């Protein structure tokens, strides 16, 4: 007579996995990262893609919480002059303090572009400015790319993401974390 135990065990494993997934999604949605406050860093890093990110990065510069800024993932068709006009940045500020990165096309690329810029500029601490729903994944990619000696301050831009956006970003975070565990 065969042992009927495997079906309940499999059902319990699947039920447990669904419960962990649901609790993780609940945590992800109700505890979005917050703004950082007035912590001073060497630089501010702003990945493109979300409303308010670049404006917040410029506020960080204006308030003296960082002395230079990298905007990573800028569309190659955008010129520095167009950027300056769009965000009302004067030429002196552009020349001294703002670098536009045109290489990255995704979050992992933002981390790679940032790591290269950090090394070239001798940055020891940075403030990552990105949207609250994107912060965990962006910071995770940076943590895997930057040397451990570089301090990263997370400065989330508050938003009102839709449930589908949160659902998609939660799964991207899971995929990014699993890829990171396996060195991909």
- Domains of the chain, earliest start first: 43-181 (3.40.50)
The order of strands in the sheet holding 98-101 is: 98-101, 68-72, 43-47, 125-131, 151-157
Question: Per-residue pLDDT tens for 38-58?
Answer: 999 999 999 999 899 999 999
DSSP class of residue 51 equals T
Q: How much is the pTM?
A: 0.91
Distance of CA 61 to the CA centre of its chain: 19
| Confidence category of residue 2, pLDDT binned at 50, 70, 90 | low
Region of residue 48 (left: phi > 0; alpha: psi -120 to 50; beta: else): beta
**In 10 A of CB 172, how many CB atoms?**
15
Question: Per-residue pLDDT tens for 54-74?
Answer: 999 999 999 999 999 999 999
> Span 73-88, mean pLDDT?
96
CB 107, CB 76: distance < 8 Å: no
């Amino acid at each position: 007579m065969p042992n009927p135990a495997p079906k309940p065990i499999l059902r319990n494993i699947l039920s447990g996995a669904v419960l962990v997934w649901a609790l993780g999604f609940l945590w992800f949605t109700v505890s979005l990262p917050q703004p950082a406050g007035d912590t001073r860093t060497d630089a501010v890093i702003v990945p493109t893609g979300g409303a308010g990110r670049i404006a917040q990065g410029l506020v960080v510069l204006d308030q003296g919480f960082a002395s230079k800024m990298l905007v990573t993932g800028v569309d190659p068709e955008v010129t520095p002059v167009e950027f300056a006009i769009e965000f009302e940045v004067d030429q002196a500020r552009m020349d001294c303090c703002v670098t536009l990165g045109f290489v990255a096309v995704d979050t992992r690329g933002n981390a790679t572009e940032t790591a290269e810029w950090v090394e070239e500029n001798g940055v020891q601490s940075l403030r990552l400015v990105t949207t609250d729903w994107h912060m965990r994944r962006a910071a995770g990619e940076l943590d895997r790319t930057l040397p451990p000696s570089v301090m990263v301050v997370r400065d989330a831009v508050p938003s009102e993401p839709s449930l589908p956006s949160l659902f998609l970003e939660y799964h991207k975070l899971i995929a990014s974390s699993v890829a990171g565990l396996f060195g991909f």
